[in-house]
Amino acid sequence: MINEAVDLLQRYIRLNTSNPPGNEYLAVDFFTSIFKEAGIECKTYEPKPGRISIRAEIQGAGLQGPLILLHHIDVIAADKKDWSFDPFSGDIINGHICGRGALDTKSLGIMQLLAFLAIKKNGLKPSRNLVFLATADEESGADCGVDHLLRDYPHEFNADLVLNEGSYVVSGLLPNKLIAMISPGEKGPCWLRLKRKGLPGHGSTPHGHNPLEQLTKAVNRLLSYEPPVVITPIAGEYFKRLATDWDFLKPYAVDGKPETLIKIIRDNDLLSMPQINAMVRNTISLNSLQSGARVNVIPSYAEAEVDIRLLPGQNMEEFMVLVKKHLSDDLIRIEPISQYEGNASDMNTESYRLIEMVLQEHYPDAITAPYLMLGTSDSRFFRDRGVTAYGFCPAVIPAEDLKSIHGNDERISIESMVTGTEIYKDIVRRLCI
């Protein structure tokens, strides 16, 4: 007999919720019928046709504030010709459930669903209200998703704790051990469009007012700025945990001084590893440059888009002053595309310790560690309201497979899905006692 978690994930993947357009209603119909069968009431929110989020709740005893299990329904588009299997077939190939969303983040959604239903089935009143929340539009800013829900229905989403996406139990990162990560925070995007006007003219007669030349020089000045290494509490704890496996980190584990860690990071050339570099520094990436159409015409306008990511604790306004200083060109108009400060929840809570303890029980040989998300998730909207939000998925994923998130050939092994579901149930049950 096919495992329930596997079967549900296959069915969920087959619903094409690529964003755009999203079509999240497909998944909302799917969840509604499951809740109906289980005798659980649910409510839907539809700010635009087809862009729906769904919320279901089990009433608890009110001994603790509500717990929200959050995941997003929408997925990144997948082009069939770049994949070695149909991204929306949900087929099982070589022991893996295959398709878009298998990792980001339909597997987590099904784990949460089954943990939620298990609380209902066991019949005991949980200590707190338990909310299942599947939302639209995470992949393009949450305007039709969490941002909208918290803006227009703030009282329906009060919570003490939100569990969301963020990290996994990863194999292949450490030589002989798993690393089970929980993400209490994420970097903040500071996406900028830089606009520069200039004088058009004939390419044979350069006049010094070419906006494309001026803009590229300014952007190069910005790119040559080297942001300092900053040890956030999350990164500090992450490296402390790794020190049990990486001997060269031991001096930092002993004295706990940020300057010791910074020296180790520099001496061992860890900044050459993009993931580590981004975990301890603000980053700047020039990702788009547009101007001119002909080889012999000086353009009148040039535009660049820069993706800056700031660590939690960094001040956006201060960083913008620094950006202007390095561009050092008053004729550049800076237009924010999206700006959100880095954000983090306290790791020093009972819930965090409990999640970590359960992960450690199920994976006794793993190292547990906090992880700073380099991208964004919907957790930021809750953290903005002072709600604690942690991101994790208790399934083992090979480091290699993480590339398939927003990439090609996304998949999760049956074993990871089944085990992950059981661990998720355990965590939710213990958070609701």
Under rule CB under 5 A, residue 137 binds Zn ion? no
**105 or 404: CB nearest Zn ion:** 105
Residue span binding Zn ion (CB under 5 A) among the ranges 85-93, 99-107, 196-204, 321-329: 99-107
Residue 34, CB-side half-sphere exposure with 13 Å CA sphere = 21
b/e for 5-17, b at 16 or more Cβ within 10 A? Answer: bbebbbebbbbbb
Q: How far is CA 221 from CA 151, 191, 215, 418, in A?
A: 39, 17, 10, 51
Query: Which one of the spans 23-31, 163-171, 200-208, 287-295 is the region binding Zn ion (CB under 5 A)?
Result: 163-171
CB of 196 to Zn ion, least distance (A): 35
8 Å CB contact between 274 and 282: no
d(CA 72, CA 139) in angstroms, rounded, equals 8
Residue 34 CA, chain-centre distance (Å), reads 27
Q: Which is nearer to Zn ion, 189 or 299 (CB)?
A: 189
96 or 106: whose CB is closer to Zn ion?
Answer: 106
Of 13-21, 101-109, 242-250, 381-389, the segment contacting Zn ion by CB under 5 A is 101-109
Q: Beta strands 297-298 and 301-310: pairing type?
A: unpaired
Count residues near Zn ion (CB under 5 A): 3
105 binds Zn ion (CB under 5 A): yes
Nearer to Zn ion among residue 311 and residue 373 (C-beta): 373
Closest to Zn ion by CB, 27 vs 249, is 27
Site mask, Zn ion, residues 164-183, x = CB under 5 A?
-x------------------
Count Cα atoms within 13 angstroms, Cβ side, for 298.
17
Sign of CA dihedral 71, 77, 81, 86: positive
* Binding segment (CB under 5 A) for Zn ion, from list 128-136, 161-169, 265-273, 422-430: 161-169
- What DSSP designation does 139 have? G
Check binding of 282 to Zn ion (CB under 5 A).
Answer: no
Nearer to Zn ion, 108 or 218 (CB): 108
Least gap, CB of 377 to Zn ion (angstroms): 6
Sole binder of Zn ion in the list 104, 137, 303, 378 (CB under 5 A): 104
Residue nearest to Zn ion (CB): 104
> Which span sits near Zn ion by CB under 5 A: 15-23, 98-106, 113-121, 226-234?
98-106
CA dist 261 and 22 (Å) reads 43
Q: List Cβ neighbours of 332 (8 Å cut-off, separation of 6 or more).
A: 194, 195, 196, 215, 218
Of 32-40, 103-111, 189-197, 387-395, which part binds Zn ion (CB under 5 A)? 103-111
| 262's tokens | 């910074």
User: For residues 339 and 400, what is the distance between their CA atoms, to the nearest angstrom?
Assistant: 31
Q: Note if the bond before 17 is cis, omega within 30 degrees.
A: no
Nearer of residues 143 and 213 to Zn ion, judged by Cβ: 143
User: Which parts of this chain interact with Zn ion (CB under 5 A)?
Assistant: 104-105, 165
